[in-house]
């Protein structure tokens, strides 16, 4: 592979920073580091305790007058802050409520949410000077288009937008993150990401809850000598940092009891994919994918985990000895850029703290879980097969889906679409990646889908659950089965390697409407932002 020394812009930094980076990620690279921290400031694995993001409490509750369902009201403020990530240096971030990651929202199926997102960010980003306008996407929610975080539906600093979330779907791990047009990668990398948990009675009965239901948000970063975040997207191909962060801490250590734990693992890296595995060789038991519980639990030694995918896994610590350390490692995948310590994620230290054996989940590893509509679909229900190719246009240096890009959508006045499925119709979408040199985590908004096949073979065991992101690896073709429900309107499909999305690997489809129809859910007009005159 060709390696060059290129400038890395700094968030809050004093200048430019040289770093080894892959111009084209044609294979896994091993290098010592990307950060320019001194040896004494460079974090090392397993030196800091594991922490979870706080759970956000609603500031008010009520009832929806249209259907009588309960509603929780939340407020999150996007603002600049300083984070304690490194041993002694502080790191400037952009965070929801000034936190990295932001606060977790947790509620029950059937309780609606109204989340007021207040943009109190500076006018310009410290790294490159782009305007800090944002659009908040609740990833995994079947939201109406005007509340879906449509990329060009931006909220400027000094304004707010109220996002209405229906929360009627089965239990799942969602996450909310910035989706602002052309700057999603840098804004999310700077800290605008957080988990969102939707519970239901079946999930509460089957799986660990409370302190044994653990949110794990994994990301990677590189740092300047002064502790600021470094950024280099390698000619828009992706960013791979040399420090693995879990809930904003480098390679933390979690103390665990001798019981079964549930981990909601979100890969919030803007480009890096993971391959988690335990150093003991013991299995990870996959019980949930992006869209909720899997029909049948899957025990795997490791699995591919692309950016924005969520996997819920059980780890059984019962057989380990007091004082034993278990490591969650990262075996990596093709076309990542790997460094000295990116092969580790976090560690667990087993304690002798007494276990509450009256909790039936303390030793339960379920086999059969629950079915879902996406996993019950059959190919015989499909009314149409559509084919898409993800690739890079070498002439324009842009990423496209077929020949379409978000620039084309903007130029069309937000009218151009790649598909017009009927409401409640079932279709097969085939995604081909033959461009070579990159993997693409493809996210389709609104729907949960079933992965039918990968290169004509059955999907991997761990992805046999409802999904909204599919890992489309090098020279892979995947076939997806989905039902376009429950809303009409326009929704996005894009690569979740976020530098790809920003340049401009994103298109849209229109459900249940034609271009000439009046669209009451138009995300550019249906729910406008308001001036924020509240006091902090």
Interval 75-102: pLDDT, tens = 999 999 999 999 999 999 999 999 999 9
14, pLDDT greater than 80: no
Q: What is the mean pLDDT of the chain?
A: 93
536, pLDDT greater than 80: no
Average pLDDT over residues 141-153: 98
Pairing of strands 344-350, 253-256: parallel
Element (H, E) at 189: helix 184-189
For residue 103, what is the DSSP state? Answer: P
Q: What is the C-alpha to C-alpha distance for residues 141 and 167, in angstroms, rounded to an integer?
A: 7
Its pTM stands at: 0.95
9, pLDDT greater than 70: no
3-state secondary structure 22-62: ECCCCCCEECCCCCCCCCCCCCCCCCCECCCCCECCCCEEE
pLDDT at position 501: 98
Whether 139 and 177 have beta carbons less than 8 Å apart is answered as yes
Contacts of 465 (CB under 8 A, 6+ apart): 286, 288, 289, 290, 291, 292, 293, 294, 295, 372, 375
526, pLDDT greater than 70: yes
pLDDT at position 436: 75
Average pLDDT over residues 151-180: 98
Whether 140 and 291 have beta carbons less than 8 Å apart is answered as yes
What CA dihedral angle connects 14, 18, 20 and 21, to 10 degrees?
60
Banded pLDDT at 29 (limits 50, 70, 90)? very low
| Paired residues of 230 in beta bridges | 10, 222
Q: What is the C-alpha to C-alpha distance for residues 240 and 28, in angstroms, rounded to an integer?
A: 11
10, pLDDT greater than 70: no
Residues 138, 141, 143, CA angle at the centre, nearest 5°? Answer: 90
Q: Is 402 left (phi over 0), alpha (psi -120 to 50) or beta?
A: left
Average pLDDT over residues 163-176: 98
- Residue 117, preceding peptide bond in cis (omega within 30° of 0): no
7, pLDDT greater than 50: no
pLDDT at position 394: 76
- In this predicted model, what pLDDT tens digit does every residue of 343-372 receive, in sequence order? 999 999 999 999 999 999 999 999 999 999
Whether 451 and 458 have beta carbons less than 8 Å apart is answered as no
- Residue 493, preceding peptide bond in cis (omega within 30° of 0): no
CB-count exposure of residue 405 (10 Å: 0-12, 13-18, 19+):
buried
CB-count exposure of residue 179 (10 Å: 0-12, 13-18, 19+):
buried
Q: What is the C-alpha to C-alpha distance for residues 511 and 199, in angstroms, rounded to an integer?
A: 28
Q: What is the C-alpha to C-alpha distance for residues 148 and 290, in angstroms, rounded to an integer?
A: 17
DSSP string spanning 306-367? -TT-EEEEEEE-TTSPTT-EEEEEE---TT-EE-TTTTEEEEEEE--PPP-TTSGGGS---S
Banded pLDDT at 31 (limits 50, 70, 90)? low
Q: What percent of the chain has pLDDT over 90?
A: 90
Q: What is the C-alpha to C-alpha distance for residues 78 and 99, in angstroms, rounded to an integer?
A: 9
| Paired residues of 312 in beta bridges | 264, 288
Average pLDDT over residues 197-224: 98
Higher pLDDT, 111 or 394: 111
Banded pLDDT at 11 (limits 50, 70, 90)? very low
Higher pLDDT, 109 or 533: 109
Q: What is the C-alpha to C-alpha distance for residues 456 and 249, in angstroms, rounded to an integer?
A: 40
Banded pLDDT at 217 (limits 50, 70, 90)? very high
Comparing C-alpha atoms, which of 310, 279, 355, 352 is closest to residue 46? 279
Whether 251 and 203 have beta carbons less than 8 Å apart is answered as no
| Paired residues of 479 in beta bridges | 430, 453
Q: What percent of the chain has pLDDT over 70?
A: 94
């Amino acid at each position: 592979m060709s390696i060059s020394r290129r400038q890395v812009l700094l968030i809050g930094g004093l200048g430019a920073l040289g770093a080894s980076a892959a111009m084209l990620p044609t294979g896994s690279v091993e290098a010592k580091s990307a950060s320019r921290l001194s040896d004494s400031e460079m974090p090392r694995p397993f030196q800091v305790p594991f922490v979870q993001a706080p759970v956000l409490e609603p500031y008010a509750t009520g009832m929806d007058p249209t259907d009588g369902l309960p509603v929780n009201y939340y407020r999150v403020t996007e603002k600049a802050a300083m984070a304690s990530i490194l041993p002694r240096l502080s790191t400037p971030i952009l965070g929801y409520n000034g936190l990295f990651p932001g606060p977790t929202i947790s509620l029950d199926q059937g309780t609606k949410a109204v989340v007021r997102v207040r943009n109190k960010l500076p006018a310009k980003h410290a790294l490159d000077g782009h305007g800090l306008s944002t659009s908040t996407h609740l990833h995994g929610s079947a939201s109406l288009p005007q509340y879906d975080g449509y990329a060009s539906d931006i909220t400027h600093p000094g304004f707010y937008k109220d996002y209405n979330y229906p929360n009627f779907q089965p239990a799942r791990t969602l996450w909310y993150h910035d989706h602002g047009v052309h700057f999603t990668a840098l804004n999310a990398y700077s800290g605008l990401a957080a988990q969102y948990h939707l519970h239901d009675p079946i999930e509460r009965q089957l799986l660990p809850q409370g302190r044994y239901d653990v949110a794990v948000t994994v990301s990677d970063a590189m740092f300047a000598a002064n502790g600021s975040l470094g950024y280099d997207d390698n000619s828009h191909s992706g960013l791979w940092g040399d420090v693995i962060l879990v809930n904003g801490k480098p390679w933390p250590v979690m103390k665990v009891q001798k019981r079964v734990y549930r981990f909601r693992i979100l890969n919030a890296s803007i480009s890096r994919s993971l391959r988690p595995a335990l150093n003991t060789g013991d299995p990870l038991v996959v019980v949930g994918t992006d869209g909720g519980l899997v029909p049948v639990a899957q025990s795997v030694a490791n699995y591919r985990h692309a950016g924005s995918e969520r996997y819920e896994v059980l780890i059984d610590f019962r057989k380990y000895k007091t004082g034993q350390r278990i490591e969650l490692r990262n075996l990596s995948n093709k076309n990542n850029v790997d460094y000295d310590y990116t092969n580790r994620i976090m560690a667990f230290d087993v304690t002798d703290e007494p276990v509450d054996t009256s909790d039936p989940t303390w030793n339960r590893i379920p086999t059969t879980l629950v079915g879902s509509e996406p996993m019950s679909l059959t190919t015989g229900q499909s009314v149409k097969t559509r084919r898409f190719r993800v690739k890079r246009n070498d002439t324009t240096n842009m990423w496209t889906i077929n020949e379409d890009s978000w620039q084309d959508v903007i130029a069309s006045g937000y009218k151009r679409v790649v598909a017009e499925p009927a409401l409640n119709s079932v279709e097969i979408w085939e995604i081909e990646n033959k461009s070579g040199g990159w993997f693409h985590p493809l996210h389709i908004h609104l729907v949960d889908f079933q992965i039918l096949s990968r290169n004509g073979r059955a999907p991997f065991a761990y992805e046999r659950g409802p999904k909204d992101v599919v890992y489309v690896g090098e020279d892979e073709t995947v076939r997806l089965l989905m039902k376009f429900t429950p809303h009409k309107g326009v929704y996005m499909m894009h690569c979740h390697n976020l530098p790809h999305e920003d340049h401009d690997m994103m298109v849209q489809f229109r459900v249940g409407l034609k271009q000439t129809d009046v669209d009451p859910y138009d995300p550019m007009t249906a729910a406008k932002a308001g001036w924020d005159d509240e006091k902090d």
